[in-house]
Chains A and B, each alone.
Chain A
Amino acid sequence: MSASGSLRRLSQLHEDEAVVAWWQARTRWLAIHLDAERRRVLLSLAALVAAAIAVVKALPRGTTTPWLVAPVAFAIVVALLYACYRAAVRFATLPPAVRRRPQMALHAIFWCILAVVWLVPSSAVLVAVGTILPFILWRCGYLLKTGQRGKAAGTRFVDHLFYLHPTWGDANVPIGKGFDYLTRHEAHTPDAFARAQLAGIKLLVLALLWSGVQWLMAALVYGEARHPLTRALGDHVLHVPHLEELLERRGTPVPMLVAWGSLYVELFREVLKHAAHGHLTVGALRLFGFNVFRNTYKPLLAESIVEFWNRYYYYFKELLVDFFFFPTFVRRFKTAPRLRMIAATFAAAFVGNMYYHALNQDSLILHGDVDAAWRALRPRLLYCLLLAIGISVSMLREQRRRGGATVPRGGIARGLRIAGVWTFFAVIHIWSIGANASFTHRTRFFLMLLGLA
C-alpha cells in the first residue's frame, strides 16, 4: 500500500469495520448501560452543574454574599430556560405576533432583561444573569425554531436542557446547533454509538495535534520570549511578529515582506485555533453519541470564498444562515433572484455578524455602554462589509459555474484559487482581530501592505 493510501486508511480508522467491532466489544457495557435516553439525562445533570459554575464565575468581583446570590441567579437562569421550553412546547398557543416572529420576540425579551440589568447595576444577581444571557440566547433561538416546526410537542425539559446550557464548549455559538440537528445525528444503536465515539476520539486526537502545532509555532515562527523552546532554539526561530503586535505599533513602518508574512501566518494560526477548539467540542459531542459535523474542515484547501466560509467555522456560519440568511431569503425580493440572494447574504454576513459580536461586548451587555461597544466594533464593520461582498460575489460565481461556466483545472490554477482565498481572508482579518488598534490604524496598515502608506 502506498504512503498516501496508508495515511488515508489511518485517518479513516474510525470507519474500519474491524476497528468498530473491536471498540464495540470493549465498550458493550457502556452502550448497554448508557443508552441514548440515559446519556441525555446525564448530560442534562451536567448542564445544571455547568450552569451553576457559570453563575458563580459571572458574579461581579467583590460579591460579599455569593452563597445567597448564586442560587438566586441560578434559579433565574433555569427559570428562563424553562420558560423558553414551555413556549416551544406550546408554540401553537402563543400570540400570533410571537408565532410569526418568534426570534424577534425572544430578542425583545432579551433586551428587556438587559434594560433591567442596566437600571439596577448594583444587583449582583442581575449582573450574573446578564453575563450568561448571550450564552443561552442563540440556543433558546434553536429551541423556538424546534417549536415553530411543531417538533417540541411531547418532548420533556430534559430533552432540551443538555444543549441549552451545554457542558461542552464555552462559545456563545451553539456548536451542535439545537434539538432538531442533535437528535437527527444521535446514535441509537450500539454500532452507531461505537462509530460516533471512534469519530470523536479521532477529533480529540486531532485537537491535541493542532494544539501541539500552535505550541510549536509560538516558538519556531513567533519566537515568543517566554516559550521554553525559544531559548533552546537560539537563532533558529523566524521571529515573525504577531499581527496584533504590528497593528498596535500604530503606524510604525514595518518591512512589507514581514507584514505580509505576519498576515498569512496569522490566518494559519486562526484556522488552527478554531480547528483545535471546535474538534474538542465536537469530539466531546461524538463521545456522547451525537455524530455531528466538524466545526472546521480543511478550510485552507477551499477554492472559493463561500467554500472557506462554510468550512472555517461551520456552526457560526449555520447560526447566521438559520437566523439571518433564510429568514431574509424567504421574505424579501422574491421576484429578483440575484437581489434576493445578495440581500440574504448581507443580512447574515453583515447585519447578523455585527449583531452577534455586539452581543459579545460586556460593555454593552452589562452597562449599556453603546459608545464603548461602538469603539470596539467599528473596525469589524468594514470586515463584515467586505465579507458580505466577498461571499455574495463568490456565490454568484459558483452559481454561474454550476450553470456550465468552465473553471480552469490543473494544479497551478487550483493553487492560485486557494492563494486568492487565503489572501482575501488574511487581509479582511486586519479589521476583525482583537487588537488595541483603531479603525484608522488598521486601515493604514492595510495601505502599507500595498505600499501606499
Chain B
Amino acid sequence: MDRARRLEHLLAFLRTIQRPDRPLDGVGEDESLVASGLIDSLALLQIVAYLEETYGIDFSARGVEPEELRSMRSILDLIERDAR
C-alpha cells in the first residue's frame, strides 16, 4: 500500500474515533490531532490498536511514544518504518 492509500485508510479510521463536534477536513497532515481538538488522549489508545491490527506493528517490543502518534504525518512515518 502506498502512502496516499495509507493516508486515505487512516482518515477513514480517524473519522470513526474523532470527537463528533470537530470536523476532520480542516486538520492538516502535520497538525497535532490532540491539540486540534479532533481526538483526545484516550483516542491515542485506539490508534495504537488500529496500528497493531492493520499494520501488525508490535508496540510491546518498541514501546508507545505518544509523540509518534501526534499527527497524521507522524503516524504515516511510523507505519512506513515499522509496518510488517
Chain A residues with CB under 8 Å of chain B are: 100, 145, 148-149, 180, 184, 306, 310, 326-327, 329-331, 334, 337, 340-341, 395, 398-399, 402, 404
Q: Which of A145, A327, A340, A402 contacts B43 (CB 8 A)?
A: A402
Q: Which of B20, B41, B45, B62 contacts A341 (CB 8 A)?
A: B45
In the complex, residue of chain B having the shortest beta-carbon distance to the beta carbon of A334? B52
Asked if B63 contacts A149 (CB within 8 A), the reply is yes
B27 to chain A, nearest CB (A): 16
Asked if B20 contacts A330 (CB within 8 A), the reply is no
Interface majority SS on A: helix, strand, loop or mixed?
Answer: helix
Given contacts A310-B41, A399-B42, contact A329 B48 (CB under 8 A): yes
The 9 closest A-B pairs by CB, nearest first: A330-B59, A326-B64, A330-B60, A331-B60, A404-B20, A398-B42, A402-B19, A148-B63, A395-B42
Contacts of B8 in A (CB 8 A): none
B61 to chain A, nearest CB (A): 8
Question: For chain B residues 36-67, which have a beta carbon within 8 Å of chain A?
Answer: 39-43, 45, 48-49, 52, 58-65, 67
Question: For chain B residues 1-45, which have a beta carbon within 8 Å of chain A?
Answer: 17-20, 39-43, 45
Contacts of A327 in B (CB 8 A): 60, 63
Asked if A337 contacts B20 (CB within 8 A), the reply is no
Which of under 10, 10 to 19, 20 to 34, or 35 or more describes the interface residues of B?
20 to 34
Asked if A306 contacts B45 (CB within 8 A), the reply is no
Chain B residues with CB under 8 Å of chain A are: 17-20, 39-43, 45, 48-49, 52, 58-65, 67
Q: Which of B49, B58, B63 contacts A326 (CB 8 A)?
A: B63
Contacts of B18 in A (CB 8 A): 402
Using A327-B60, A327-B63 as known contacts, list a sample of 6 further A-B pairs with CB atoms less than 8 Å apart, ordered by residue number in A. Answer: A100-B61, A326-B59, A326-B64, A334-B52, A395-B42, A402-B40
Contacts of B45 in A (CB 8 A): 329, 341
Asked if B48 contacts A402 (CB within 8 A), the reply is no
The distance in angstroms between the C-alpha atoms of A437 and B25, with both chains bound, is: 56
Given contacts A402-B17, A402-B20, contact A184 B67 (CB under 8 A): yes
Given contacts A329-B48, A334-B52, A337-B49, contact A402 B63 (CB under 8 A): no
Given contacts A149-B65, A334-B52, A337-B49, contact A402 B60 (CB under 8 A): no
Q: Which of A306, A310, A329 contacts B64 (CB 8 A)?
A: A329
The distance in angstroms between the C-alpha atoms of A154 and B46, with both chains bound, is: 34
B55 to chain A, nearest CB (A): 14
In the complex, residue of chain A having the shortest beta-carbon distance to the beta carbon of B41? A310
B82 to chain A, nearest CB (A): 11
The distance in angstroms between the C-alpha atoms of A265 and B9, with both chains bound, is: 50
B71 to chain A, nearest CB (A): 14
Asked if A145 contacts B20 (CB within 8 A), the reply is no
Contacts of A149 in B (CB 8 A): 62-63, 65
| 6 pairs of residues in contact across A and B, judged by CB atoms under 8 Å | A148-B62, A149-B65, A334-B52, A395-B42, A398-B40, A402-B43
The distance in angstroms between the C-alpha atoms of A145 and B60, with both chains bound, is: 12
Asked if B64 contacts A330 (CB within 8 A), the reply is yes
Contacts of B67 in A (CB 8 A): 180, 184
The distance in angstroms between the C-alpha atoms of A380 and B59, with both chains bound, is: 31
A292 to chain B, nearest CB (A): 13
B30 to chain A, nearest CB (A): 15
Q: Which of A148, A306, A330, A395 contacts B48 (CB 8 A)?
A: A330
Contacts of A334 in B (CB 8 A): 49, 52
In the complex, residue of chain A having the shortest beta-carbon distance to the beta carbon of B52? A334
In the complex, residue of chain A having the shortest beta-carbon distance to the beta carbon of B65? A149
A129 to chain B, nearest CB (A): 29
Contacts of B41 in A (CB 8 A): 310
Contacts of A326 in B (CB 8 A): 59, 63-64
Contacts of B49 in A (CB 8 A): 334, 337, 340
Contacts of A180 in B (CB 8 A): 65, 67
Contacts of A145 in B (CB 8 A): 63
Asked if B42 contacts A306 (CB within 8 A), the reply is yes
Contacts of B42 in A (CB 8 A): 306, 395, 398-399, 402
The distance in angstroms between the C-alpha atoms of A100 and B61, with both chains bound, is: 7
The distance in angstroms between the C-alpha atoms of A169 and B43, with both chains bound, is: 32
Contacts of A402 in B (CB 8 A): 17-20, 39-40, 42-43
In the complex, residue of chain A having the shortest beta-carbon distance to the beta carbon of B64? A326
Contacts of B61 in A (CB 8 A): 100
A82 to chain B, nearest CB (A): 23
Contacts of A184 in B (CB 8 A): 67
The distance in angstroms between the C-alpha atoms of A395 and B18, with both chains bound, is: 15
In the complex, residue of chain B having the shortest beta-carbon distance to the beta carbon of A184? B67
In the complex, residue of chain B having the shortest beta-carbon distance to the beta carbon of A181? B67
Contacts of B17 in A (CB 8 A): 402
In the complex, residue of chain B having the shortest beta-carbon distance to the beta carbon of A307? B40
